C-alpha cells in the first residue's frame, strides 16, 4: 500500500515538472511581448512560476516599474489550488468614513477548517487610489485586505498590484492594453455607480459589505 502511494506521488511530480517548464516558457514569451524585460526579471519570473504556478497571459502576474507583482486573480488562484477553507471580510467601522469615501476592511483567511486565520487590513480613499476608480474606494479597500491576508497565509512576499495605491495610475493612455488591469476594481466600478449615501442609511451599507467567501 505504501509503495503504491509513493509511486503515485513520484508520477505526479514527474508530470508536474514538464508542465511547470512549459508554463515558464509561455510566461517568458508573453512577458517579452508585453514588456521590456531584463535577464534578472526573466530569472525572477522563472522562480515565481515554479513557486506559485501562475500565468502571465491569464493576468496573474504583472511587471510594473521593473518589478513583478501578483494580482488579485493570481492570489485567488493560489488559494483555490491550495484548498483554502474560506475568507471572511468586513469593514472596520470605527475607522471608516463613507462620507469622505474612506474605507478600511479586515480580511481573515482560513487555510483549513481548523485554522485560526491569517488577518490582513486594507484601506482606500480618493488620495491613494487611481482616478479611474474614484467612487469605488470601498471595493478597493476590500480587495487590498483580502490580498494582504492571502499573502500572509501562503507566505507570498510578492506585493500585489491592488496594494500599490497611487502606482495603479498607469502612464499609458486610458483604454490601452497596458492601462487595463492595473486595478481590478475598474471591473466592479459600475456595481457601486448607483449607490448613494444621501439617505444617511450607513448601517445598511456596512451590513451589505460584511462578506464571507468560500474558496
Q: Which CATH class is domain 58-213?
A: alpha beta
> Judging by DSSP bridges, how do beta strands 86-91 and 211-213 pair with one another?
antiparallel
The answer to whether residues 211 and 90 touch, using CB atoms and an 8 Å cutoff, is: yes
pLDDT digits (tens, 9 = 90+) for 148-165: 999 999 999 999 999 987
Cβ within 8 Å of residue 53, ≥6 positions away: 20, 23, 78, 81
List 86's β-bridge partners, or say none: 110
Between 98 and 6, the more confident residue is 98
Question: At residue 212, does pLDDT exceed 80?
Answer: no
pTM: 0.72
- The CB-side HSE value for 120 (13 A sphere, CA atoms) comes to 23
Domain borders along the chain are: 1-54, 58-213
Between 195 and 47, the more confident residue is 47
Residue closest to 152 by CA, chosen among 121, 128, 123:
121
pLDDT digits (tens, 9 = 90+) for 156-200: 999 999 998 764 344 343 334 443 443 443 333 333 333 334 444
The answer to whether residues 89 and 212 touch, using CB atoms and an 8 Å cutoff, is: yes
pLDDT digits (tens, 9 = 90+) for 65-116: 999 999 999 999 999 999 999 999 999 999 999 999 999 999 999 999 999 9
Question: Distance of CA 71 to CAs 55, 56, 94, Å?
Answer: 11, 10, 28
pLDDT band at 214 (very low <50, low <70, confident <90, very high): low
Point out the least confidently predicted range of 12-21, 63-72, 202-211: 202-211
Residue closest to 72 by CA, chosen among 156, 178, 143, 169:
143
pLDDT band at 146 (very low <50, low <70, confident <90, very high): very high
**67-78 burial: b if 16+ Cβ within 10 Å, else e:** ebbbbbbbbbbb
Q: What is the pLDDT of residue 14?
A: 47
Q: What's the rounded mean pLDDT across residues 129-154?
A: 94
User: Please, what sign has the CA dihedral across residues 107, 143, 52, 67?
Assistant: negative
Amino acid at each position: 500500500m505504501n509503495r503504491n502511494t509513493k509511486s503515485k506521488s513520484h508520477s505526479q511530480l514527474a508530470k508536474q515538472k514538464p508542465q511547470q517548464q512549459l508554463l515558464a516558457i509561455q510566461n517568458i514569451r508573453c512577458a517579452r511581448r508585453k514588456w521590456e524585460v531584463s535577464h534578472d526579471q526573466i530569472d525572477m519570473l522563472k522562480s515565481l512560476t515554479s513557486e506559485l504556478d501562475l500565468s502571465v497571459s491569464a493576468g496573474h502576474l504583472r511587471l510594473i516599474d521593473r518589478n513583478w507583482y501578483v494580482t488579485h486573480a493570481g492570489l485567488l488562484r493560489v488559494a483555490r489550488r491550495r484548498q483554502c477553507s474560506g475568507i471572511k471580510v468586513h469593514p472596520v467601522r470605527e475607522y471608516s468614513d463613507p462620507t469622505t469615501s474612506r474605507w478600511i476592511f479586515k480580511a481573515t483567511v482560513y487555510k483549513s477548517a481548523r485554522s485560526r486565520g491569517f488577518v490582513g487590513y486594507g484601506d482606500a480613499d480618493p488620495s491613494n487610489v487611481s482616478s479611474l476608480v474614484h467612487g469605488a474606494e470601498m471595493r478597493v479597500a476590500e480587495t487590498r485586505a483580502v490580498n494582504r491576508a492571502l499573502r500572509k497565509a501562503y507566505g507570498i512576499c510578492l506585493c500585489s498590484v491592488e496594494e500599490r495605491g497611487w502606482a495603479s495610475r498607469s502612464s499609458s493612455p486610458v483604454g490601452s492594453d497596458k492601462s487595463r488591469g492595473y486595478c481590478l476594481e475598474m471591473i466592479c466600478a459600475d456595481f457601486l455607480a448607483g449607490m448613494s449615501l444621501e439617505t444617511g442609511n450607513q448601517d445598511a451599507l456596512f451590513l451589505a459589505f460584511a462578506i464571507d467567501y468560500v474558496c
